[in-house]
Amino acid sequence: MRKGNVYLLFFILALFCVTLWVVWPGTDIFGRKDFTLGLDLRGGSHLVYKIDMAKKDPSQSDVDVIEGVKQKIERRVNAYGVTEPVIQTIRSEDGDFILVQLPGVKDIDEAINLIGKTAELDFREMELDQSGRMVFDEQGMPKWQALAIATGSDDKEKELTGKYLKPNAKVVLEPQTNRPEVAFEWNDEGAVLFEQITKRNLQKPLGIYLDGVPISWPTVQAVIKEKGVITGLDLQEARTLAIQLNSGSLDVPLELVQNMTVGATLGEDSLRKSLIAGIIGSVLVVVFMIAYYRVSGLVACLALIVYGVLTLAIFKLIPVVLTLPGIAGFIVSVGMGVDGNVLVAERLKEELRAKRTLQAAVEGSFRQSWTAIWDSNITVFIVCVVLYWLGSRFGNFMVMGFATTLFIGTALSMFTQVIVTRTFLRTVVGSHLATRPSAYGVTK
């Protein structure tokens, strides 16, 4: 046996042991103990928003507005702690859309509340009559002025809104009542405006509005400059508001046009059925390969085991978000690996029928089948790229998952076909474990 083949065999065995350890249940790699499952397998929320471009700032381009909305939604979702969210923009003749998929988030109302609000914070002063008394509406509720206005550092009148907030809002507990509050801090310009507004509203309520809806109206107890708190919220509301304020207000309103909740039961059932189908298919392939091609079929099956473990390790390390179509792409790539090994095994039989030595037949089988293997895999690569582009273009995450796993699987199947299978066959031939042509499926 060639020394180079011995080194390659040890490398493959070492690689197999490492990747098997990576995919072993419970192994913690970079903080990941399990595979990353997509929305259809893990369950979660699927939301599609239409962007109201009619209300954008005329000075901004459509592309800038869409990208700004996407980035702010990403900051909100990431701050909320959702793992592996999918956030994509879709441009079509029907308008501009934002696709948001949140694996693990089952409360659809909670997801909508977090993402969809414009989160434009503003402050309003109470409306007073000429005698300085409060003015009430027909329902007996106090009336509020449109927006609190003060003079900025440049001597111009400005409305006090959330755009002057620093991105460091946080949830705190009021010491005496232990109730949650949102503590916020102004930048230099906001501090100038807030100081004037609190000074003229001492011992009066100051309305705090979010997207035009009153959320709190605390009484101003002292002149406040840099910092303040928002009260009247429960813990979840306070947490969501802090995230929204820190991510910044959306540049344009969003209209929810589609929402869907995927249950974990459906995902577990789909995953279980996919695994059963994959196991049954793999067993049938192994039985056929060994029965028809004998030793070369057994070698191909061993190479496929190496391929499967290596591919799963890559999926876990990247990590690849596994969806149901993604698992289908992996199974299809297994078929591609079998196809390449069938080409090699059939060519080996032809070489042996031509009365060549076993070693020469093995080398010739790989040399003669390489062109067909290369062409078939390159075709699959092109299809994967096209499918991924179309999936990202139209926001179809299932197509993207299928294309991703099929591409990775096909690339690794080429490695096992060309390197692993050939190394194993050379090892068998060099060790003289099977020397008769019948051991390789040659019956005549």
Residue 315 sits in the same domain as residue 238: no
pLDDT at 107: 76
Would you say 38 and 270 are in contact if contact means Cβ atoms under 8 Å apart?
no
pLDDT at 248: 72
444 residues of the chain, pLDDT tens digit each: 577 788 889 999 999 999 999 998 888 877 777 887 777 777 788 889 998 888 887 777 888 888 888 888 887 787 776 656 778 888 878 888 988 888 877 777 877 877 877 777 888 888 877 776 778 777 777 788 767 888 988 888 888 888 888 888 899 998 888 899 999 899 999 999 999 988 988 888 888 888 777 877 788 888 888 888 888 888 888 888 888 888 777 778 888 898 888 776 556 777 788 778 878 888 888 898 899 888 988 998 999 899 999 999 998 888 787 877 888 888 888 887 888 888 888 898 888 888 888 889 888 988 888 888 888 889 999 999 999 888 777 766 678 888 888 899 889 988 888 889 899 988 888 888 888 888 888 876
Residue 135 sits in the same domain as residue 155: yes
**Distance (Å, whole) CA 121 – CA 241:** 10
- Please provide the size of the chain in residues: 444
Residue 232 sits in the same domain as residue 93: no
Residue 86 sits in the same domain as residue 100: yes
**Distance (Å, whole) CA 268 – CA 262:** 11
The CATH number covering residue 55 comes to: 3.30.70.3220
Residue 423 sits in the same domain as residue 275: yes
Residue 244 sits in the same domain as residue 277: no
Alpha helix (H) ranges present in 157-263? 188-199, 235-247
Task: Write the CA distances from 164 to 230, 287, 404, integer angstroms.
Answer: 15, 69, 43
Residue 112 sits in the same domain as residue 148: no
Cα 20 from chain centre: 25
Task: Among 248, 283, 311, give the residue marking a domain's end.
Answer: 248
- For 291-341, write each residue's pLDDT tens digit: 988 898 899 899 989 999 999 999 888 878 787 788 888 888 888 788 888
**Distance (Å, whole) CA 8 – CA 316:** 25
CB atoms under 10 Å from CB of 190, counted, come to 24
Token duo for residue 408: 């990775």
**Distance (Å, whole) CA 427 – CA 433:** 9
pLDDT at 384: 92
pLDDT at 1: 58
Number of domains in the chain: 3
Token duo for residue 271: 């995953």
Residue 320 sits in the same domain as residue 381: yes
CB atoms under 10 Å from CB of 257, counted, come to 12
Which residues, 6 or more positions from 2, have their beta carbon under 8 angstroms from its beta carbon? 426, 430
User: Could you list the residue range(s) of the whole structural domain that residue 31 is in?
Assistant: 3-38+263-440
The single residue listed with the structure tokens 């067909």 is 372
Residue 363 sits in the same domain as residue 348: yes
Residue 280 sits in the same domain as residue 179: no
Residue 422 sits in the same domain as residue 342: yes
CB atoms under 10 Å from CB of 177, counted, come to 9
The CATH number covering residue 219 comes to: 3.30.1360.200
Terminal C-alpha separation, the chain: 28
pLDDT at 74: 82
Task: Among 248, 278, 305, give the residue marking a domain's end.
Answer: 248
Task: Among 231, 261, 291, give the residue marking a domain's end.
Answer: 261
The CATH number covering residue 282 comes to: 1.20.1640.10
pLDDT at 15: 92
Q: Comparing C-alpha atoms, which of 337, 335, 297 is closest to residue 428?
A: 297
Residue 150 sits in the same domain as residue 84: no
